[in-house]
Amino acid sequence: MRVLAKSDKGRIREQNEDYYYISDENENLTLYMLADGMGRI
């Protein structure tokens, strides 16, 4: 399986604080994690 991730900092933020992680160490289980970085204004 092919997995892709794309993120964007948006219009207001100077840097992107989003984070993703894909683990495929175990052939019977794949872990997908996504954190939406909200930052500070």
| Domain boundaries, given as residue ranges, for the chain | 17-41
pTM (predicted TM-score): 0.57
User: Residue 28 gets which letter from DSSP?
Assistant: T
* CB-CB contact of 15 with 40 (8 Å): no
Retrieve residue 32's tokens.
């997908």
Of the candidates 41, 36, 39, the residue with the CA atom closest to the CA atom of residue 18: 36
Q: Mind listing the pLDDT tens digit for each residue in 1-41?
A: 778 888 888 888 788 888 999 887 777 888 899 888 776 65
Can you tell me the distance from the alpha carbon of 12 to that of 1, in angstroms, rounded to the nearest whole number? 35
Measured in whole angstroms, the distance separating CA 13 from the mean position of its chain's CA atoms is 16
